[in-house]
Amino acid sequence: MQLQLPEPGLDAQMASRSLQSLIANDIRHHSGWIPFSRFMELALYAPGLGYYSGGAAKLGKDGDFTTAPEITPLFGQTLAGVIADLIGKTTPQIMEFGAGTGKLARDILMELSKMGVPVHRYSIVELSGELRARQQETLRGFPQVTWLDSFPTVFSGIVIGNEVLDAMPVHLVTKTAQGWRERGIGLSPKGFVYRDHPCDATLLAQIPNPDALPEGYLTEVHPIAVGFMRTLAQMLTAGFDFTGYGGAALLIDYGFPAREYYLPQRSEGTLMCHYRHHAHADPFYLPGLQDITAHVDFTAMAQAAVEAGLDVLTYTSQASFLIDAGIGELLSRVSPSDQLRYLPRANEVQKLTSPAEMGELFKVLAIGTKVELPERFARGDRSHRL
């Protein structure tokens, strides 16, 4: 079926064609087949051409999707309250992965400043040149902000990752009459095509009971995100060994625990593409000009962190986390009688917390070492579902 999506400009089309040629050459170099994770890696991160490493606008009304910090400053202000509690148990440092336009960092830093909580360094790990430039513009008045190209080996403090895990390349696996196969990418005269290859047994380790799933079942597995979690855990553990101070990470994303992720009825997986605020399921459409994401398997993420030495501090819905963190109290700073200011804020909180909007689909996984969340977060905890 032909997708009916907005037509990109000529320069964007040419950039996408260049990326398609690069991917095609990579497929030829690897004997005519690459795993889907490699295709997704190149489509998103190929230097100068990938979606996140190229120059196209990603976020807001002129981009392809909108994140919670773009909806309202209340999101960052609420997280700041949680960070203030945690920073007292570690060091005054924050690290954010994939900081978008920089609005989340700005909202957090401004709120912490109002609270009298000093932040000595706010490090941003950002792969997108376009987004890094926007962040530098947004955060010009904050001299404690620095940019990094990769993980440091040692860190004590608070780590934030809002909609980071979903953009990490995934492998596709499918159950056929001959057993499980890995779905990768090949070439045809018309372009990219799916081709199945023998499946490495280690790819099935995330799926709770793969033999029970029906023939034709297609899903994603997340070894790259699992590797990220292990590296994150090693960084925080090394931070404690070096400084004597622990650390914590707050990871906010859409996804499920494994028992819900790999339900029989979720037979087509969760892969989704975003282009100009249109969502669709064709990753071959204009590579480099659209986002490609998959929902997060939070059980696999938590297990990787725990196996590498961290504790699960909480796993809960975004709605529960924000409410327990005090977003309602922040909303009450504006009087309901001031309808011009109050009603838009109330609508923004509704979007973040409503089960019909972002409140239930988005989850929060907090992990750490030698720190604990305040007791109020225990009431919404769902760690037993992981």
The two beta strands, 278-280 and 247-256, are unpaired
pLDDT tens column, 321-377: 999 999 999 999 999 999 999 999 999 999 999 999 999 999 999 999 999 999 999
pLDDT tens column, 211-261: 999 999 999 999 999 999 999 999 999 999 999 999 999 999 999 999 999
| Whether the predicted pLDDT of 148 surpasses 70 | yes
In the prediction, which pLDDT does 54 show?
74
In the prediction, which pLDDT does 56 show?
57
Instruction: Please state, in angstroms and rounded to a whole number, the distance separating the CA atoms of residues 351 and 357.
Output: 5
Instruction: Please state, in angstroms and rounded to a whole number, the distance separating the CA atoms of residues 206 and 222.
Output: 8
Which of 46-55, 275-284, 358-367 has the highest mean predicted lDDT (pLDDT)? 358-367
Sheet holding 272-275, edge to edge: 278-280, 272-275, 291-293
| Whether the predicted pLDDT of 5 surpasses 80 | no
Nearest to 240 by CA among 368, 362, 123, 87: 368
- Are 106 and 119 spatial neighbours (Cβ–Cβ below 8 Å)? no
Q: Report the C-alpha dihedral over residues 153, 159, 160, 164, rounded to 10 degrees.
A: 30
- For the purposes of burial, counting CB atoms within 10 Å of the CB of 224, is it exposed (0-12), middle (13-18) or buried (19 or more)? middle
CA atoms lying within 13 Å on the CB side of residue 195 = 15
| Whether the predicted pLDDT of 58 surpasses 60 | no
4 domain-assigned = no
In the prediction, which pLDDT does 210 show?
95
Mean of per-residue pLDDT scores for the chain: 94
In the prediction, which pLDDT does 65 show?
65
CA atoms lying within 13 Å on the CB side of residue 139 = 27
CATH number at residue 267: 3.40.50.12710
Q: What domain range includes position 256?
A: 11-380
- Tally of structural domains, the chain: 1
**Angle formed by the axes of helices 129-138 and 103-115, nearest 10°:** 30
Q: How confident is the model at residue 273 (pLDDT cuts 50, 70, 90)?
A: very high
**Angle formed by the axes of helices 318-325 and 73-87, nearest 10°:** 70
Instruction: Please state, in angstroms and rounded to a whole number, the distance separating the CA atoms of residues 272 and 255.
Output: 12
In the prediction, which pLDDT does 60 show?
46
5 domain-assigned = no
Predicted TM-score (pTM) of this structure: 0.94
1 domain-assigned = no
212 domain-assigned = yes
Nearest to 54 by CA among 45, 67, 66: 45
- For the purposes of burial, counting CB atoms within 10 Å of the CB of 311, is it exposed (0-12), middle (13-18) or buried (19 or more)? middle
Under 8 Å CB-to-CB from 199, ≥6 apart: which residues? 173, 179, 180, 181, 182
- Of 58-62, 111-115, 215-219, the range with the lowest mean pLDDT is 58-62
385 domain-assigned = no
146 domain-assigned = yes
In the prediction, which pLDDT does 271 show?
97
183 domain-assigned = yes
Tokens found for residue 227:
């590797």
167 domain-assigned = yes
